[in-house]
Amino acid sequence: MVCELIEWHDAATVTPDADITVLCWSGDGFFCGYWDDEIGSWIGCESGGSVLGVTHWAEPGGPLDVPVEREE
């Protein structure tokens, strides 16, 4: 059995690279989004609009035994 944990980061102290989609947490729950450096705001993937109140974010990777292919 494999147990994997999601590592949450404090959005007030660190933001992810602007070119990756991450799992975001706010008072309304979790959603997929990304940090936009140009406007200094979180963007929700579903709505495409700015999202306020993001407190934490995580970059989930998937199962450890399955290679993840990323475009470079």
Each residue of 31-49: pLDDT tens digit?
999 999 999 999 999 999 9
Specify if 20 maps to a domain: yes
Specify if 72 maps to a domain: no
**Number of domain units in the chain:** 1
pLDDT (tens place) for every residue of the chain, 72 residues total = 566 678 999 999 999 998 799 999 998 899 999 999 999 999 999 999 999 999 999 998 766 665 656 666
Specify if 43 maps to a domain: yes
Structural domain span for residue 52? 9-58
> What is the C-alpha separation between 52 and 40, in angstroms, rounded?
11
45 neighbors 34 (Cβ within 8 angstroms)? yes
